[in-house]
Structure 1
Amino acid sequence: ARGAVAITANCGYSVRHQAALAAAVGVPVAATSLILLPLLLRQYPVTTKIAVVAADASCLTDEMLGLNNSADKARVVIGGIEGGVMWQNEMKRPPPYTEPVQIQIELEACIEKLRTDNPDIGAILFECTLFPLVSPALRKKTGLPIYDVTTLCELTFAAA
């Protein structure tokens, strides 16, 4: 009613509220980058895996990821940086600042392990809204496309 053309959120786990938010308002809702996963699974060849990297991978479920069939499930590799400095900081209230270089170090280690175990990863989807701070550097370092909430917001607002 006040002129919003879209609504976004600041936590990837807002996926739990995506459907309710979209049903309650008359504008596009981009509550989480995780809603990009079905799109990515269709954009890449069926032989390519998509890595989903989360702040805490133990929180992700197939339902949250929109994985409804075994073929899609087999193509998704999940990793997280739970237990790291960023995760520990985010568990505090208020959360203390985490240097972007620390986030990058933790993500690099996670991605390296995922790629070692799954060399057929063709793209990465970041769940956490803090990760875009280092997405450009990690795109360059990994040579892989990395999608995040910024990617989703750019897509949503470009169409609004």
Structure 2
Amino acid sequence: MPNSVAGGVTVAGYTVGILCLRSTHPLLPGNVQHVQSFDAPVLYHVIDLEDPWPMMRGEPQVADMLAEGVAALARQGVRAVAGACGSFGYYQKAVAATAPVPVFLSILTQLPFLLQAMPQSARIAVIPAVGESMNARIYEQCGIDDPSRLHIAPMRGRRVFDALLDDGTMRDVEALRRETVECAVAAAREPGVAAILIQCSELPPFAADIQAATGLPVFDMTTLIRWLALATNCQPYSGLIRRPLP
């Protein structure tokens, strides 16, 4: 233990903070807003929008609310902040520019890093809720210079997912699982697809099913948050050390 420690917070020990929208729809383990999706404790801050559509359209007034949320989480001691909604990506550069800690408002911020690890001919299949959410503005905010290397496979148009999207009902989890895997399998068959990135925050609960069905690496916001938790709370190594014989 250090000789001295700092106070100033009511509850300590959170390393990653998560911005989310107020919601009432069912949340499965694996959803970013389900706390049991993570091995390390996370701290949530709710962006309380009465009408989420200005944010979904990327209207600029939402940036201040997100920046205030990041600052509030940082005051509580978190060392990095992630976003639970893909549309937060519209504000990545504006919020990160003044943030006191590293900020990853969308899983799309990971795409430039992933694409560098693959041949130029390889592509990543991205699964959003709706195709319109993948556009030039969000690419620019998240540092994606070559969208041609992405195959967009939206979930919109599938019965169970549409019910969740439109009225917040999830009456058949197994059917939603099947719809998600079907979407991913079809995307994996596209030429050059070498990995799958789940952009929609409702779908990481089915990441293991997607990987079992496709055999591909699968990335989503829960994997990014686990990485942030490790990076902001490094643990010492232990184990046997081979020593010279006497």
Does TM-score exceed 0.5, indicating one fold?
yes
Deviation at 1:59, TM superposition (A): 2.0
Report the AA paired with residue 111 of structure 1.
Answer: A
> Gaps (5+ residues) in structure 1?
none
Compared CA separation, residues 113 and 36, structure 1 to 2 (3 A)? same
Task: State whether structure 2 residue 114 is matched by structure 1 residue 37.
Answer: no
Task: State whether structure 2 residue 125 is matched by structure 1 residue 51.
Answer: yes
Deviation at 1:138, TM superposition (A): 1.1
Compared CA separation, residues 124 and 87, structure 1 to 2 (3 A)? same
Where do 1:90-129 residues align within 5 Å? Answer: 90-92=165-167, 95-97=168-170, 99-116=172-189, 118-129=190-201
Deviation at 1:136, TM superposition (A): 1.1
Where do 1:1-160 residues align within 5 Å? Answer: 1-65=75-139, 66-68=143-145, 72-84=146-158, 85-92=160-167, 95-97=168-170, 99-116=172-189, 118-160=190-232
Per-residue CA distance 1:14-44 (angstroms, 9 max, x = gap): 1112223222321121221111111111011
Greater percentage in helix: 1
Normalising to structure 1: TM-score of the pair?
A: 0.85
Normalising to structure 2: TM-score of the pair?
A: 0.58
Report the AA paired with residue 147 of structure 2.
Answer: K
> Gaps (5+ residues) in structure 2?
1-74, 233-246
Structure number with greater CO (CA < 8 Å, separation at least 6) is 1
Q: CA RMSD of the aligned region, Å?
A: 1.8
Identity among equivalent pairs (%): 29
Larger-Rg structure: 2
> Does the CA contact (< 8 Å) of 1:104 and 1:138 recur in 2?
no
Compared CA separation, residues 141 and 157, structure 1 to 2 (3 A)? same
Compared CA separation, residues 13 and 89, structure 1 to 2 (3 A)? same
Q: Distance in 2 between matches of 1:33 and 1:46?
A: 21
Per-residue CA distance 1:81-103 (angstroms, 9 max, x = gap): 112222332222xx223544233
Q: Distance in 1 between matches of 2:201 and 2:188?
A: 22
Q: Distance in 2 between matches of 1:41 and 1:33?
A: 13
